[in-house]
Amino acid sequence: MIIGNGLIASKFREYDNHNTCIIFSSGVSNSQESCTKKFNREKSLVRQILDKHKNLQFIYFSTILVNFSNTEYNKHKLEIENLIKKTASSYIIFRVPQLIGRGGNKNNLVNFLLNSIQTGQDIVISKDVERSILCVEDMVRIVNYCKDKCDRTTINISGVEKKKVVDICKDMASILEKVPSINISTKVDRPNWNTTNSDIVEESFTDLGIVSKNYTKKVLFKYLGVKV
């Protein structure tokens, strides 16, 4: 069963009639969000689904940054994680990095950079801040790999390759054959993280053939419409 209709949900359509687990991807996806009403709506829906389907494994997507900045969004995600842990009889919480796919939230990192580059807007980037880009299709493969091997746990997907945001931006601009307007800031309001991948995630990278070398560039090429 799938709850949601966004980028993640669209990649899990094989679970439409799945009777052993719930893929919950109907939550708040904008990391800049601070609206209490939206947070409460997600919390209420999670409670409803957990109460109605107590016998199913509940799969939830949080953020790998949940413990590394004190934003309203991160506090909300942590609250949902704790609700699931206290309520669900069977669950896996996947803490994921920046996802990339066709479409998705216009406010996520890649879509924000893409729009800014294409429209010539100034892009303010903290000098040393790093992020990890993960192809949404690879995330589906990782979830499928993990879901039957573990239960009642939180799985960290720190990422395949960490890279400075300024370099991600430059890579995107190069692919698009644009000159980005980048302003480097020394202010760090969204810090880096030092969480490592869970052991089972490292195992999945090996078994699924997900290779870190040039991973970010390859994924950007794939989704920006240029053949590798």
Residue 76 is part of a domain; what is its CATH number? 3.40.50.720
Task: Convert the pLDDT of each residue in 151-209 to its tens digit.
Answer: 999 999 999 999 999 999 999 999 999 999 999 998 766 667 789 999 999 999 999 99
Residue 227, pLDDT above cutoff 70: no
Check if the beta carbon of residue 228 is closer than 8 Å to that of residue 222: yes
Share of the chain above pLDDT 90, in %: 80
Q: Residue range 8-19: average pLDDT?
A: 84
pLDDT for 107 equals 83
Check residue 202 and give its pLDDT: 98
Q: What is the pLDDT of residue 191?
A: 66
Residue 108, classed as helix, strand or coil, is: coil
Residue 228 pLDDT: 39
| 228 in a structural domain | no
Which domain, by its residues, includes 103?
Answer: 2-223
pLDDT of residue 188: 67
In DSSP terms, which residues pair with 223 in a beta bridge? none
Q: Average pLDDT in the 21-34 region?
A: 92
What is the Cα Rg of the chain in Å? 18
pLDDT tens figures, 60-96: 999 999 998 889 999 999 999 999 999 999 999 999 9
Question: Which one-letter DSSP state was computed for residue 152?
Answer: S
Write the burial class of residue 72 (CB in 10 Å: 0-12 exposed, 13-18 middle, 19+ buried): middle
Highest mean predicted confidence (pLDDT) among 2-11, 23-32, 86-95: 86-95
Quick: pLDDT tens for 109-146. 999 999 999 999 999 999 889 999 999 999 999 999 99
Pairing state between β 153-156 and 130-135 = unpaired
CA atoms of 131 and 216, how far apart (whole Å): 10
Is 48 within the bounds of a domain?
Answer: yes
For residue 185, the cross-strand partners are 126
How far are the Cα atoms of 62, 84, 191, 196, 205 from residue 57, in angstroms, in the given order?
16, 11, 33, 25, 23
pTM of model > 0.85:
yes
Q: How many domains does the chain have?
A: 1
